[in-house]
Amino acid sequence: METTLRVFSIFTSIQGESTYAGLPCVFVRLAGCPLACVYCDTQAARSAVGEALPISAIVQRALRGAPSLVEVTGGEPLAQPGTHALLRALADQGCRVLLETSGAFSIAAIDPRVVVIMDIKTPGSRMAHRFCAENIAVLSRPGHHHQVKFVVTDQEDFKFACQMAAQHRLADHTEMLISPVAGLDPAQVAEWILASSFPFRLQLQLHRLIWPHADRDGIER
């Protein structure tokens, strides 16, 4: 019997939170997440049961129109073990596949064709203790194109990001993104970056800038 996944929505929008920001992208948003970040902006998907769909149906809907970029997100996609098979199936179709994950689950067995955008939860999220420490070793594997993102709520979170970058020499092998939480002045975060010695890339949430008064999800597929 084919593996099913609980899907919250499948939609087209602009990629907003990685070095792929600005590109058209199909999003597969999976339902459910066992974390509880204080700033969670996908509460509906986090707490939803979702619609159980076979992987072949998800791929068919996502790849309608042959998009060049597909992102699997959530909720927390890796909370569902079948997500690995979905990522493989999407990559088999030849498109660039991104996975956005909280870092709470191991990324060691992710298909190597997939680009992982891993949130390293800061203390301000109240979920830093959920980080799967073995993921750091995966980031130092040669040839990967993974990215780490720190959502910062204040300067203490920024210092945490600096500590992680220094301790694990993240800049040697990984793109590092800093994303100010909604309400934190990006100009302030820019000052912190400029005063640091790390090549953080300032990441503003494009969805909020483009559609400040609308739901962040895009056109349903």
Q: Which residues in this chain contact ligand SF4 in the complex, by CB under 6 A?
A: 33, 35-37, 40, 42, 46, 74-76, 102
Nearer to ligand SF4 by Cβ, of 146 and 149: the residue is 149
Q: Which amino acid is at 170?
A: L
Whole-number minimum distance, CB 8 to ligand SF4, in Å? Answer: 10
**C-alpha–C-alpha distance, residues 89 and 140, integer Å:** 25
Whole-number minimum distance, CB 164 to ligand SF4, in Å? Answer: 17
Nearer to ligand SF4 by Cβ, of 154 and 171: the residue is 154
Whole-number minimum distance, CB 60 to ligand SF4, in Å? Answer: 25
- Euclidean distance between the first and final Cα of the chain, in Å? 25
- For residue 31, the number of C-alpha atoms closer than 13 Å in the C-beta half-sphere is 14
**C-alpha–C-alpha distance, residues 85 and 108, integer Å:** 14
Q: Which three-class secondary structure string do you get for 117-141?
A: EEECCCHHHCCHHHCCCCHHHHHCC
Nearer to ligand SF4 by Cβ, of 95 and 125: the residue is 125
Nearer to ligand SF4 by Cβ, of 95 and 103: the residue is 103
Under DSSP, the state recorded for 102 is -
- For residue 27, the number of C-alpha atoms closer than 13 Å in the C-beta half-sphere is 25
Nearer to ligand SF4 by Cβ, of 87 and 95: the residue is 87
Whole-number minimum distance, CB 104 to ligand SF4, in Å? Answer: 7
Whole-number minimum distance, CB 69 to ligand SF4, in Å? Answer: 20
